[in-house]
Amino acid sequence: MLAKSKVTTTIAVHDIENSMDFYVDVLGLKEVGKTRGGYLLECGEGMIGLYQSTTAGTGLATCAWWTVDDVKAIVKGLKARGVVFDKNYDIPHAKPKGDIYDMGDGAKAAWFKDIDGNVLGLGNF
- Domain-located, residue 1: no
Inter-residue contact 35 to 20 (CB < 8 Å): no
CATH number for the domain spanning 22: value is 3.10.180.10
52 within some domain: yes
> Is 87 domain-assigned?
yes
Please state, in angstroms and as integers, the Cα–Cα distance from residue 52 to each residue in 78, 84, 97, following that order.
24, 23, 35
Phi-psi region of 84 (alpha: psi -120 to 50; beta: other; left: phi over 0): beta
Proportion of the chain above pLDDT 70, given as a percent = 100
Q: Considering the domain boundaries, does residue 92 fall inside one? A: yes
Taking only the tens place, the pLDDT of each residue in 53-102 is 999 999 999 999 999 999 999 999 999 999 999 988 888 889 899 999 99
**Interatomic CA distance for residues 112 and 120, integer angstroms:** 5
Domain presence at residue 3: no
- How many folded domains does the chain comprise? 1
Task: Give the per-residue pLDDT at 7.
Answer: 87
Burial of 91 (C-beta count, 10 Å sphere; 0-12/13-18/19+):
exposed
Domain carrying residue 17: 8-123
